[in-house]
Amino acid sequence: MGFYSRYVFPQLLDWAMADPALGRLRRELLAGVWGEVLEIGFGTGLNLAYYPESVTKITTVEPNRGMNRLAKRRIQSSSKIVDIQNIGGEALPMPNQSFDSVVSTWTLCSIVHLDRALAEIYRVLRPGGGLFFLEHGLSDEPEVQVWQDRLTPIQKLLGDGCHLNRPIAKYLGTHFEKLEINNFYLEGVPKISGYMYRGLATKVG
């Protein structure tokens, strides 16, 4: 992990993702989270303030150790019990059917082997449990897609692996039997990075 990824990017990410408009989206998404929770891509812990009171323990996965300093500050001021594991999402050490809910916000865009990670998420979910997701990705407008494809190589460098052009619904649909998605453009954000996927992917079997 380079200097930029470990020391610069966490600060930039925390500043950009602490926007109140994004906070409202987090609150709406996490209101439905329940039971034993796994968060994929904990980052600097911005989701922590929005978990409902019924959630008392959260297991987190975050491969970038540079996020820990900012995340630990938020953990210390929270009543939640948080278990941070500095690993990637592609090979989870948890047993099958360990969690009722999995949460991922603006992380699926950056996981190198996304299919592997989604297969792992499905494995550790209990039947009836769901992946609560909030993500940006491939637009439904062809003219926007062209620019997303062109600019993704630059975005991957600046955004620590972030893709502008991932077809999130296609990936999720490959792994989950039931999928509820709301697509929209985030106000005040360029279309190339503001096309949102918000919803719930449920493990039926």
pLDDT band at 1 (very low <50, low <70, confident <90, very high): low
Mean pLDDT of the chain: 96
For the segment 65-89, the average pLDDT, to the nearest whole number, is: 93
For the segment 41-58, the average pLDDT, to the nearest whole number, is: 94
CA distance 181 to 133: 9
Share above pLDDT 90 across residues of the chain, in percent, rounded to a whole number: 95
Question: To 10 degrees, the CA torsion angle through 2, 66, 164, 109?
Answer: 120
Main-chain phi, psi angles of 161, to 5 degrees = 100, 0
pLDDT tens-digit series, residues 92-144: 999 999 999 999 999 999 999 999 999 999 999 999 999 999 999 999 999 99
Q: Name the CATH topology of 3-202.
A: Rossmann fold (3.40.50)
Q: Is the pLDDT of residue 176 over 90?
A: yes
Q: Is the pLDDT of residue 205 over 80?
A: no
What residue ranges do the domains of the chain occupy? Answer: 3-202
Please name the residue that has the structure tokens 């209990």.
126
pLDDT band at 39 (very low <50, low <70, confident <90, very high): very high
pLDDT band at 54 (very low <50, low <70, confident <90, very high): confident
Q: How far is CA 78 from the centre of its chain?
A: 20
Please name the residue that has the structure tokens 């900012």.
70
Q: Is the pLDDT of residue 25 over 70?
A: yes
| Rg (the chain; Cα; Å) | 16
pLDDT band at 192 (very low <50, low <70, confident <90, very high): very high
Q: Is the pLDDT of residue 87 over 70?
A: yes
